[in-house]
Amino acid sequence: MKSLFIFLLIFFSINYSYAGFRYLKIGIDGLTCSACSRSVEMKLRKLSFIYSVEMDLENTEGKIILKESETIRLDEICSAVKDAGFSIRFLKAELTDPITTKEKCFEIDHIQFQLLSYDSSKFIQIIHPCFLSKKEWKKYKIIDTKSDCFQTEFKLYLIHVDEI
């Protein structure tokens, strides 16, 4: 009985933080015409976890609405855009809830992240060479790539942003 009480006390004192992705906003370099925009849109729509894609050719970006209860594969988004012949200049997300933990390592929708800055905002930017221009990625060279946050080779980092 005493051990059960200790277990429950520990279990309920752990600071859990669950946030899921509401939607993603993606900046695409090289979109110059509606055919370019359409090719990216169609590649993204083929991904099983994407509900819809709304492209904005004027701002060369898109809004990706995700399916609920589906496993999101950010590496597949990267591949889809590259397969269409374009590169990503940013990937931002609105979360369903703000991240409430100050822990360096955590998960959102079963994806491992390392938090680079803390803020209680629901808006984040995903930091990875696939989701930034080479110039922008150089700003993050100080990232600890040997972090024990990750169990996969596709390492992702987050910073908070004011809006997306």
Query: Quick one: tokens of 28?
Result: 């695409």
pLDDT, mean of residues 17-22: 64
Rounded Cα–Cα distance for residues 45 and 47 (Å): 5
Task: Give residue-wise pLDDT tens across range 63-110.
Answer: 999 998 888 899 999 999 999 999 999 999 988 887 776 677 777 777
Nearest CA-CA partner of 88 in 136, 153, 154: 136
Predicted TM-score (pTM) of this structure: 0.78
Place of tokens 């990625």: 137
Task: Give residue-wise pLDDT tens across range 132-149.
Answer: 888 888 877 656 556 667
* Residue 1 confidence (pLDDT) above 60: no
Instruction: Report the pLDDT value the prediction gives residue 145, as an integer from 0 to 100.
Output: 58
Nearest CA-CA partner of 133 in 92, 84, 91, 89: 89
Instruction: Report the pLDDT value the prediction gives residue 89, as an integer from 0 to 100.
Output: 93
Q: Look at 155 and 40; give whichever has higher pLDDT.
A: 40
CATH number, domain 18-160, options 3.30.930.10, 3.30.70.100, 3.40.1380.20, 3.50.50.100:
3.30.70.100
Using alpha carbons only, what angle is made at residue 23 by residues 36 and 49, rounded to the nearest 5 degrees? 75
Question: At 157, phi and psi to the nearest 5?
Answer: -130, 155
With beta carbons less than 8 A apart as the criterion, state whether 78 and 88 touch: yes
Ranges of each domain in the chain: 18-160
